[in-house]
Chains A and B, each alone.
Chain A
Amino acid sequence: DAEITQSPRHKITETGRQVTLACHQTWNHNNMFWYRQDLGHGLRLIHYSYGVQDTNKGEVSDGYSVSRSNTEDLPLTLESAASSQTSVYFCASSESGESSYNEQFFGPGTRLTVL
C-alpha cells in the first residue's frame, strides 16, 4: 500500500544546530507540503512543492528550507534551530492537476524539541 512516512518520529536538539526532517511518499504525488502544528494555531504551512525542483514558501517559512530532487522526498531543514521551532511537524502530499479538490495524505508527524 502507498504511504507517507516521516523520520525521525521524535527529535531533541539544541539551539543553533542544523536539523533535517525526512518525508518520503510512495503515492507518486507531485504536490508535497510541510506543516507545523502548535496548540491554538492548527496547522500552518511552512513550505510546499508542486513537483521536482519546485519549492515555495508558506506562511511560516522563516528559518526553514526544503529541496525537491525527486518525486518521493521533501526533506525539511532547520538551518539553525530555535526554541520557537519546538513543534510537531507534518508532511503531506496530494495529487496534481485539478487537485485543489483532492485530499491531502498526511504522515504520522515528527515531534521536535529544541532546548
Chain B
Amino acid sequence: AQSVTQLDSQVPVFEEAPVELRCNYSSSVSVYLFWYVQYPNQGLQLLLKYLSGSTLVKGINGFEAEFNKSQTSFHLRKPSVHISDTAEYFCAVINTGGFKTIFGAGTRLFVKA
C-alpha cells in the first residue's frame, strides 16, 4: 500500500524568503508524484508532477520539486515567496499504471509581509 506523509502541517514564512515543503512517500512499486495547490475556497490545481527523467521538476508560479528515490522524498521549494503563495499544498502519489491518487494531509503555507 502507498502512503504520503507531509512533515509539516503549517509553515509560516516572510515574504521574499525561501521555503521548502517536505513530502515523503512509501510504495513498493514505481510511482508518479504530484504537488497540488489549493487557494482559499477553491479546488485543487496542479503545481507540478514527476513522471520520469530529470529529478528536478519545475512547475508553475516559480515552484520546483526534487525527486529523491533513495530517500523516498519529493520536497517542494521556492526561492522567494509572495503573499499570493499563501495556500494549502498537497503532495500526492500514484503507482505507475494505477488510477487512484493518494494525497497527503496538506501543508498550509502562510506568507507574512
Q: Which residues of A contact B (CB under 8 A)?
A: 4, 31, 35, 40-45, 48, 50, 58, 90, 92, 94, 99-101, 103-104, 106-109
Q: How many A-B residue pairs have CB under 8 A?
A: 57
CB of A106 within 8 A of CB of B105, answer no
Residues on B with C-beta less than 8 A from A101 are 32, 49, 51, 94, 96
Chain A: minimal CB distance from B9 (Å):
8
Chain A: minimal CB distance from B97 (Å):
6
Residue total for B at the interface (Cβ-Cβ under 8 A):
26
Interface presence of B25 (CB below 8 A): no
CB of A31 within 8 A of CB of B99, answer yes
CB of A108 within 8 A of CB of B42, answer yes
Residues on A with C-beta less than 8 A from B104 are 42
CB of B106 within 8 A of CB of A99, answer no
Chain B: minimal CB distance from A34 (Å):
12
Given contacts A40-B105, A42-B103, A42-B104, are A100 and B42 in contact (CB under 8 A)?
A: no
